[in-house]
Copies of this chain bind each other. A is one copy, B any other.
Amino acid sequence: MSITSAQVAARDRSWPIRWSDAGPFIALAVILVLGALVNPSFLSETNVLNVVTRSAFVAIIAIGATFVISSGGLDLSVGSMMAFVTGIMIMIMNALAPSLGSGAILVGGAAALVVGALCGAANGLIVTVGRIEPFIVTLGTMGIFRALITFMTDGGSLPIDRGLRDAYRPVYFGSVLGVPIPILISLVVILLGAFLLYRTKYGRRCAAVGANPEVARFSGVPVARVQTLAYVIQGLCVAVAAICYVPRLGAATPTTGQLWELQVITAVVIGGTALRGGKGRIWGTVAGALILEAIANLMVLSDLVSEYLVAAVQGVIIIVAMLVHRFTK
């Protein structure tokens, strides 16, 4: 008996991908093929790079969300948090620009990471220490962050110092060996995320806490700490997204990041992470973010749909994709 199981265990390791986990990738492939049929320029290099670069923001934030969700939480505040972090970062950069020159960008970026981590920690601590539904907590902080950015921008826009713009632009528009920098940054975040979730103690505990907090507690896992840390990771991811985002448009506005939370959660769920927690799929999440952005892109590239109905078609495609995935399993 034990011989058999040892052999099986060996095979197990050599075959790490479960078929059901392939769903999001298959869905992505189908959408790519359909897209190419609808409009050949869909697969043009520029378009592909545009779409992938754009999806970098949602993907980066969604990596954080994968941690939060797989640890049994939820964060609705990410969109507003990103706007808030962006605002703080721009204010710091603008304040330092006269004295530090483009060094202000580095300080601003570092500050953004700190602020993001603190925002995440606030969410996490209210959820864990206060023992309140994450949905309510992060809905509350969503309102708070959104109001703060509106306040900081006076309802208008908070542009980054002109002097910094050129030095900062490459973070969004630059590329290394033809690969745009946001894609590289998101790759780094994704690899770090995958490493953390799959290869470290923390990742294990995260999934255990999400699967059954009681079992985790009885196994010596500091449940509250693990969950809080997931929100902090989320905050850091938001900050990284903010850092990549600012050079794109050069300003924070009250609409920055609006409704991104929904996109982020959708990406995570499409990617195969269950909302009730207990398992996280980093690569699935990435596929989810790409799927969302590819569908939106296709809606514009195709001429099939009235502008009024774009959202409807997107909704239908997502539901159909999930249904197909469900029934081909």
A155 to B310, CA, bound (A): 13
Q: Which residues of B contact A148 (CB under 8 A)?
A: 309, 312
Question: Contact at B262–A316, with CB atoms within 8 Å?
Answer: no
Contact-size category for A: 35 or more
Count copies of this chain in the complex.
Answer: 2
Q: Which residues of B contact A133 (CB under 8 A)?
A: 269, 274-275, 322
Query: A137-B319, A262-B139 given as contacts; is B131 within 8 A of A326 (CB)?
Result: yes
Any chain B CB within 8 A of the CB of A306?
Answer: yes
Q: Mark A102-143, 1 if CB is under 8 A from B, else 0.
A: 000000000000000000000000100011110111011111
- A147 contacts which of B142, B265, B309 (Cβ < 8 Å)? B309
Question: Contact at B126–A312, with CB atoms within 8 Å?
Answer: no
A107 to B312, CA, bound (A): 27
Any chain B CB within 8 A of the CB of A38?
Answer: no
Any chain B CB within 8 A of the CB of A323?
Answer: yes
Any chain B CB within 8 A of the CB of A214?
Answer: no
Any chain B CB within 8 A of the CB of A40?
Answer: no
A275 to B131, CA, bound (A): 13
Question: Contact at B311–A147, with CB atoms within 8 Å?
Answer: yes
17 other A-B residue contacts (CB within 8 Å) besides A140-B318, A141-B319, A147-B309: A130-B319, A130-B326, A131-B326, A136-B270, A136-B319, A137-B319, A137-B322, A139-B265, A139-B266, A143-B314, A143-B315, A144-B311, A144-B315, A148-B309, A148-B312, A150-B308, A150-B309
Which residues from chain A sit less than 8 Å from chain B, CB to CB? 126, 130-133, 135-137, 139-144, 146-148, 150-151, 154-155, 262, 265-266, 269-270, 274-276, 306, 308-316, 318-319, 322-323, 326
